[in-house]
Chain A
Amino acid sequence: MSNDMLKKFIVDAFEKGLIEAVMAPAATKDSYTYALITKKEDVDKITPIAPVMQWNGADMLRRITKLKKSERKLLAILRPCESRTYKELVKFNQINPENIIVLSYDCPGTIHARNFKYEPVEPENLVEEIKNGGKSEKIRDACKVCEYPAPIPGVGDIGLGLVNTDPVFFSLSDKGKEFLGAMGITEGERDADAWVEEHRKRREEWMEKERITGGRKGIEEFLSSCLNCHNCKDMCPICFCKECFFEDHNVFDYESNKFYNWADDKDGIRLPTDRSLFHIGRLIHMGTSCIGCGLCQQACPMDIPLYRLFGIVGNDLQKVFNYKPGVDDNLPPVMEFREDELHEFEGLLGGEE
């Protein structure tokens, strides 16, 4: 059982003095949340490979280390998407990676938190399915079309291989290599290429099919049931601002005449006026760094398939800047100034031909 085996690994690490704390999912009544554990006796309480992702683990690490580096040696068990988030948030100065070891694994995917609540699944059942290179039909959209379902070298420190094999460990960084060495574990190999390739193929097809079309009208229709609750933003790990620009109501307060003028000009307006502005504005802020964890979609109380918006547009934007968030070592496009880029867009706005 992979979970048991991981737990044993953690206890071992505690005993060898390699770690002083571990952050991993733990079961709650209807779901799983992250738990921070400092004693090996408590390791039993966790389920390292959980079937639900209620929060993004990197977001939790951000909370722990944002102000100051981790004071204890912390092992964090993160899914590949979370470890990419981790890497991205380090670039944004939101996580201090010192003293943290990240372990990630061939991810079976996770089930939508609400579905899970009414129809729970044993964690090991999901793992069982990928052992033979398959994957469950129950998992979330974002997981089905995940670009990086397996640990990525250079992202995080230790990888756990589960596809087409009995569990094997391998290192993703020098830090991880050292760690596995100290644990006395020989690094193993497994062949997950076909499994990953299958995801990517599915992803390509999905993107082609699910792309929101129809321009401005299309996006209005897509968002038509939005409540403006901002849950998607709250759950987004890349949206780390303390106060969102769109929650500063001072900026969007107007005298009544303003509204009437707009309504006159546009033959009626929809209220509130800043709803699609919020989503488009958010896309501009986080699009180039969107990891594709899909938590925005899980958080939507109106079941808007938001991953179709953020995931696909994010992916397109990243292509434009030739940037893979959480995978590339260079800075995100919003933080880097290049004299020479994006010439293909020159002249599109009616400037020089």
Chain B
Amino acid sequence: MAMKRIGVFICHCGRNIAGTVDVKRVAEEIGKREDVAFSTTYVFMCSQPGQKLIEDSIKEYNLDGVVVANCSPTLHERTMRNAAARAGLNPYRVEIANIREWAAWPHEDNPEAATRKAIRIINATIEKLKANASLEPLEVPVIRRALVIGGGVAGIQAALDLADAGIETVMVEREPSIGGNMFRLSETFPTLDCPQCILTPKMNDVGGHPNIKLYTYSEIEDVSGFMGNFKVKIKKKATFVDWDKCTGCGECLRVCPVSVKSEYDLGMKDRTSIYIVNEQAVPLKALIDQDSCIRLKFEKKVQEGKIKPKKNVKICSKCADVCEPEAIHFKNNEEIVEEEVGTIVVATGYEVMPAEAFPELGGKYPDVITALQFERLLSPSGPTAGVPRRPSDGKIPKSIAFVHCVGSRDPQNGVPYCSRICCMYTIKQAMLVKHALPDTAVYDFYIDIRSNGKGYEEFYHRAKEEYGVNFIRGKVSKVYKVGDKYRVQGVDTLTGRIVEVDVDMVILATAAKGSEGVKELAKKLRIPYDEWGWLKEVHLKLKPLDTPVGGVFIAGAAQFIKDITDSVAQGSGAAAKSLGLLSKPQLEKEPLLARVDTEICAGCGRCKDQCAYGAITIDPIRHVSVVNEALCEGCGACSANCPTTAIQVVNFKKGQIIRAVDILAEVF
């Protein structure tokens, strides 16, 4: 039934609205409407007295609908709906007319226009409100288990916090060991802690925690279900080794004749075909890389019919021969397992752009490497035991140039944003070079030094004052090889001179991006991401860990590149968010969802193809669309694409919208 006794509450928002819009006149004009029983203004509707005013008016005037004209609904819609509910009015009979962002702010220079526009916005909102239905929130049950995707430091923290709170937690990591990028680092800024020392205890906690079920070398295959009730398919990739039997003794590594670039060492070191990621891996298990193993390659070719095996030919099985527990079986043990969880924390981390992406900076030369690769050369547990050597010839470099902002702050050729961590790690790396090789000259080409963290600026000054790092302000434009040296062609923008220097190695602080494959994962989870592979939060300031999909949270560098401090904090934050949901026996869900008018639905499936949440199916018998209410997020994409508007979002029906638009679109 259309509402007849509507109350309109116009907020001054201090001077934000009232400074431009003539709120008194608006209240008067709106008050003339037949369907408006009461209209008034107040200085801050969101304040306690403001809310009280709404509550009292609902009772006094027996209002059947409320329009609050104030700021964006993302800020105070919930506040106003709660106030109405306290006064006994169904909260879905409250609508917000955004006259601050839509009228007052954009028309500051024209108060008359702003006032008229405010009136019109409120009129349109009233028209929309009049056909609103009263709704009750939906209730959904909760499975008290959590999933953490990604075993870097953020994921580890989230999993430990959840598990310690008594929640059974599943962790999925695609690498054979947890630890993530942090485990690759040499030392951390600004404290110069050894990450291997501070992270291994946490990794071991994860490995041995009774509440944590760890799947490494595994990937998410499929996610279905909804907040509180997710079903997740996990693919355990083939290891060709029985991990129940493997003791991680490492005998097999000693006999394997194959040598390939190590992923963990980012190509700075070789590993064998059967390998354990590193000595501190969790779990400490061996696995075979099927692309390089002689035996597996041979078997694959036989299977494909490319070669015919001769009789009595002995194919390499050296690793299996020395394996005492007989764990190595060469059998493809890929398997899909299913887990049910109530919440998901996505902590997929980052990667950096490869040096090869910057040919002008010499990315194709072996001694021009990314900073992340250089971390391995600086790490005491790395291939050069912490004393950097040139990858090309193993020589100790007499001079090294660092280049900041490679691909970062460069919307034309890379990414538009600042990669945030590079300034500090470059300074750290410069210091570590000086530690290891005091006689090596270090040139640091920067644009701006960004040291905005606790102890960061002090750290920068130490590099300048105590360590003798040469800082040159200006971007390098070209690096090329001349003889045995690399010529760095730069500029000093402060003295205004072109600067050239020949060095032995060049380290590029390349831009960070979301991890490879994160877009595919995000599609499975139906959460948004940007073009650089960062997962999008709901609100940068106020909901940095939330995604639009209820029950799915993001943490650490999955959201945007950040340092260890922030990643750990977000890991804990996402765990707390999950706990909040999992501590309730039932979850409430917003009832503003799509509904199908089966009388007119033609079952064409256009809505189904548009639904980002997989909430729509076609009923095979009735041949009409059906909405799964638990999955639907009420976004309205289905409705916009339905030729006959058989599917519509409750309280956003076509009549409501068209009427509102009609008013807004009238000639001004």
Q: Does B601 lie at the interface of the complex (its beta carbon under 8 Å from any beta carbon of A)?
A: yes
Selected interface stretch from A187-195, A296-304, A331-339: A331-339
Selected interface stretch from B180-188, B296-304, B638-646: B638-646
A186 to chain B, nearest CB (A): 36
For residues 606 through 656 of chain B, which have their beta carbon under 8 Å from a beta carbon of chain A?
A: 606, 609-610, 618, 623, 641, 643-646, 654-655
Q: Determine whether the beta carbon of B602 is less than 8 Å from that of A242.
A: yes
A167 to B238 alpha-carbon distance, docked (Å): 59
Q: Does B603 lie at the interface of the complex (its beta carbon under 8 Å from any beta carbon of A)?
A: yes
Q: Determine whether the beta carbon of B600 is less than 8 Å from that of A251.
A: no
Q: Determine whether the beta carbon of A336 is less than 8 Å from that of B609.
A: yes
A236 to chain B, nearest CB (A): 12
Q: Determine whether the beta carbon of B605 is less than 8 Å from that of A93.
A: yes
Q: Determine whether the beta carbon of B644 is less than 8 Å from that of A93.
A: no
Q: Does A243 lie at the interface of the complex (its beta carbon under 8 Å from any beta carbon of B)?
A: yes
Per-residue 0/1 for A238-253: is the Cβ within 8 Å of any B Cβ (1 yes, 0 no)?
Answer: 0011111100101100
Q: Determine whether the beta carbon of A66 is less than 8 Å from that of B623.
A: yes
Q: Determine whether the beta carbon of B605 is less than 8 Å from that of A92.
A: yes
Residues of chain A lying within 8 A (CB to CB) of residue B646 = 241-243
Residue from B610, B655, B667 in contact with A251 in the complex, judged by beta carbons closer than 8 Å: B655
A119 to B370 alpha-carbon distance, docked (Å): 83
Residues of chain B lying within 8 A (CB to CB) of residue A254 = 662
Q: Does A115 lie at the interface of the complex (its beta carbon under 8 Å from any beta carbon of B)?
A: no
Q: Does A67 lie at the interface of the complex (its beta carbon under 8 Å from any beta carbon of B)?
A: yes
B528 to chain A, nearest CB (A): 12
Q: Does B658 lie at the interface of the complex (its beta carbon under 8 Å from any beta carbon of A)?
A: yes
Q: Does B604 lie at the interface of the complex (its beta carbon under 8 Å from any beta carbon of A)?
A: yes
Residue from B600, B618, B623, B667 in contact with A241 in the complex, judged by beta carbons closer than 8 Å: B600
Residues of chain A lying within 8 A (CB to CB) of residue B641 = 334
Q: Does A285 lie at the interface of the complex (its beta carbon under 8 Å from any beta carbon of B)?
A: yes
Q: Does B599 lie at the interface of the complex (its beta carbon under 8 Å from any beta carbon of A)?
A: yes
Residues of chain A lying within 8 A (CB to CB) of residue B602 = 94, 240-242
Q: Does A261 lie at the interface of the complex (its beta carbon under 8 Å from any beta carbon of B)?
A: yes
Q: Does B666 lie at the interface of the complex (its beta carbon under 8 Å from any beta carbon of A)?
A: yes
Q: Determine whether the beta carbon of A93 is less than 8 Å from that of B658.
A: no
For residues 60 through 98 of chain B, which have their beta carbon under 8 Å from a beta carbon of chain A?
A: none
Residues of chain B lying within 8 A (CB to CB) of residue A122 = none
Residue of A nearest to B600 (CB): A243
Interface residue SS majority, chain B: loop
A258 to B667 alpha-carbon distance, docked (Å): 12
Q: Does A137 lie at the interface of the complex (its beta carbon under 8 Å from any beta carbon of B)?
A: no
Residue from A93, A248, A334 in contact with B603 in the complex, judged by beta carbons closer than 8 Å: A93
Q: Determine whether the beta carbon of B604 is less than 8 Å from that of A258.
A: no
A248 to B602 alpha-carbon distance, docked (Å): 16
Q: Determine whether the beta carbon of B618 is less than 8 Å from that of A244.
A: no
A34 to B469 alpha-carbon distance, docked (Å): 88
For residues 316 through 375 of chain B, which have their beta carbon under 8 Å from a beta carbon of chain A?
A: none
Residues of chain B lying within 8 A (CB to CB) of residue A244 = 644
Q: Does A265 lie at the interface of the complex (its beta carbon under 8 Å from any beta carbon of B)?
A: yes
Q: Determine whether the beta carbon of B645 is less than 8 Å from that of A93.
A: no
Residues of chain B lying within 8 A (CB to CB) of residue A67 = 623
B204 to chain A, nearest CB (A): 42
A203 to chain B, nearest CB (A): 27
Q: Decide: A335 near B606, CB < 8 A? Known: A251-B655, A265-B667.
A: yes
Q: Determine whether the beta carbon of A242 is less than 8 Å from that of B644.
A: yes
Residues of chain A lying within 8 A (CB to CB) of residue B623 = 66-67, 93
A335 to B609 alpha-carbon distance, docked (Å): 6
Residues of chain B lying within 8 A (CB to CB) of residue A66 = 603, 623
Q: Determine whether the beta carbon of A331 is less than 8 Å from that of B604.
A: no
Residue of B nearest to A336 (CB): B609
Residue of B nearest to A62 (CB): B602
Residues of chain A lying within 8 A (CB to CB) of residue B645 = 245, 248
Residues of chain A lying within 8 A (CB to CB) of residue B654 = 245, 248, 251
Residues of chain B lying within 8 A (CB to CB) of residue A331 = 609
A92 to B618 alpha-carbon distance, docked (Å): 12
Residue from B609, B643, B667 in contact with A245 in the complex, judged by beta carbons closer than 8 Å: B643
Q: Decide: A337 near B609, CB < 8 A? Known: A251-B654, A261-B666.
A: yes
Q: Determine whether the beta carbon of A242 is less than 8 Å from that of B599.
A: yes
A136 to chain B, nearest CB (A): 36
For residues 208 through 255 of chain A, which have their beta carbon under 8 Å from a beta carbon of chain B?
A: 240-245, 248, 250-251, 254
Residue of B nearest to A334 (CB): B606
Q: Determine whether the beta carbon of B609 is less than 8 Å from that of A92.
A: no
Residue from A94, A243, A265, A337 in contact with B604 in the complex, judged by beta carbons closer than 8 Å: A94
Q: Determine whether the beta carbon of A250 is less than 8 Å from that of B655.
A: yes
A96 to chain B, nearest CB (A): 10
Q: Determine whether the beta carbon of B605 is less than 8 Å from that of A251.
A: no
Residues of chain B lying within 8 A (CB to CB) of residue A258 = 662
Residues of chain B lying within 8 A (CB to CB) of residue A250 = 655
Residue from the set B605, B644, B666 with the largest chain A CB neighbour count within 10 Å: B644
Q: Decide: A243 near B603, CB < 8 A? Known: A250-B655, A258-B662.
A: no
Residues of chain A lying within 8 A (CB to CB) of residue B605 = 92-93, 335
Residue from A242, A265, A335, A337 in contact with B600 in the complex, judged by beta carbons closer than 8 Å: A242
Q: Determine whether the beta carbon of B609 is less than 8 Å from that of A240.
A: no
Residue of B nearest to A250 (CB): B655
A240 to B602 alpha-carbon distance, docked (Å): 7
A248 to B646 alpha-carbon distance, docked (Å): 11
Residues of chain B lying within 8 A (CB to CB) of residue A240 = 602, 604
Residues of chain B lying within 8 A (CB to CB) of residue A241 = 600, 602, 643-644, 646
A337 to B637 alpha-carbon distance, docked (Å): 12
Residues of chain B lying within 8 A (CB to CB) of residue A94 = 602-604
Per-residue 0/1 for A273-284: is the Cβ within 8 Å of any B Cβ (1 yes, 0 no)?
Answer: 000000000000
Residue of B nearest to A243 (CB): B600
Q: Determine whether the beta carbon of B658 is less than 8 Å from that of A243.
A: no
For residues 561 through 606 of chain B, which have their beta carbon under 8 Å from a beta carbon of chain A?
A: 599-606
Residue of B nearest to A284 (CB): B643
For residues 311 through 353 of chain A, which have their beta carbon under 8 Å from a beta carbon of chain B?
A: 331, 334-337
A244 to B604 alpha-carbon distance, docked (Å): 14
Residue of B nearest to A266 (CB): B667
Residues of chain B lying within 8 A (CB to CB) of residue A248 = 645, 654
Residues of chain A lying within 8 A (CB to CB) of residue B600 = 241-243
Q: Determine whether the beta carbon of A285 is less than 8 Å from that of B643.
A: yes
Q: Determine whether the beta carbon of A242 is less than 8 Å from that of B655.
A: no
A251 to B655 alpha-carbon distance, docked (Å): 5
Residues of chain B lying within 8 A (CB to CB) of residue A336 = 609
Residue from A93, A265, A337 in contact with B618 in the complex, judged by beta carbons closer than 8 Å: A93
Q: Determine whether the beta carbon of B610 is less than 8 Å from that of A92.
A: no
Residues of chain B lying within 8 A (CB to CB) of residue A285 = 643
A70 to chain B, nearest CB (A): 15
Residues of chain A lying within 8 A (CB to CB) of residue B609 = 331, 335-337
Q: Determine whether the beta carbon of A245 is less than 8 Å from that of B644.
A: yes
Residues of chain B lying within 8 A (CB to CB) of residue A92 = 604-606
A241 to B609 alpha-carbon distance, docked (Å): 17
Contact sample, A vs B, 14 pairs, CB 8 Å cutoff: A92-B605, A92-B606, A93-B603, A93-B605, A94-B603, A240-B602, A241-B600, A243-B599, A245-B654, A251-B655, A251-B658, A258-B662, A336-B609, A337-B610
A-side residues, CB < 8 A to B, are 66-67, 92-94, 240-245, 248, 250-251, 254, 258, 261, 265, 285, 331, 334-337
B-side residues, CB < 8 A to A, are 599-606, 609-610, 618, 623, 641, 643-646, 654-655, 658, 662, 666-667
Other 12 A-B pairs with CB < 8 A, given A241-B643, A261-B666: A66-B623, A67-B623, A92-B606, A93-B603, A93-B604, A93-B605, A241-B600, A243-B644, A250-B655, A258-B662, A285-B643, A335-B606
Q: Which 9 A-B pairs have the closest CB atoms?
A: A241-B644, A243-B600, A92-B604, A265-B667, A93-B605, A285-B643, A335-B609, A242-B600, A241-B602
